[in-house]
């Protein structure tokens, strides 16, 4: 069995939130359009861009540009409220190059540990290691700082 190389191993980030797993799950999914930074992390990069995370298995994840155009980012593969959500991820690229992202919500003491894992880099071929390297600080900011901050403010 082939072991993933360092350039294609999953990115794993964890943050602790003083809220229940169910609340954190809701903050992540239902609040997606509130904490996602559309000005810097969308195809439209406009204030009027809207991000949509359809909360069910088979749901779409997409942005709606100010002109009404929709741009697919991925689709929901697994949806277990309060426990985990897994989705394909290919913003701005063909679905054939999709990676996967899984976010788990685990009870820890009186709060939760929220773990984001982003893998499937092999689907990107030659550009996998470059994009993975760019996603490390990207997820640290978007997930760790922005989602983490949003969830902490909400609770």
Share the mean pLDDT of the chain.
95
Q: What is the pLDDT of residue 114?
A: 98
Claim: this prediction has a pTM higher than 0.85: yes
Domain ranges of the chain: 11-37+80-154
* Domain over 11-37+80-154 is classified CATH 3.30.530.20: yes
pLDDT tens profile 58-96:
999 999 999 999 999 999 999 999 999 999 999 999 999
pLDDT tens profile 22-63:
999 999 999 999 999 999 999 999 989 999 999 999 999 999
Q: What is the pLDDT of residue 67?
A: 94
- Those residues whose C-beta lies under 8 Å from the C-beta of residue 104, and which sit 6 or more positions away, are 83, 84, 114, 115, 117
Alpha-carbon distance of 146 to 50, in angstroms, equals 16
**Structure confidence at residue 7 as a pLDDT band (50, 70, 90):** confident
Percent of the chain with pLDDT over 70: 96
């Amino acid at each position: 069995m082939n072991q993933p190389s360092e350039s294609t191993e999953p990115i794993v980030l964890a943050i602790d939130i003083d809220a229940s797993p169910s609340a954190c799950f809701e903050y992540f999914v239902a609040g997606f359009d509130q904490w996602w930074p559309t000005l810097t992390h969308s195809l439209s990069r406009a204030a009027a861009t809207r991000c949509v995370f359809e909360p069910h298995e088979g749901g779409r994840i997409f942005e709606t540009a100010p002109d009404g155009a929709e741009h697919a980012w991925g689709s929901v593969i697994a949806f277990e409220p309060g426990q985990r959500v897994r989705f394909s991820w290919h913003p701005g690229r063909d679905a054939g190059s999709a990676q996967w992202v899984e976010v788990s919500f685990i009870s820890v003491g009186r709060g939760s540990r929220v773990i984001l894992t982003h893998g499937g880099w092999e689907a990107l071929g030659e550009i996998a290691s470059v994009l993975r390297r760019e996603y490390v600080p990207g997820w640290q900011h978007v997930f760790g700082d922005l989602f983490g901050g949003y969830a902490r403010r909400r609770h």
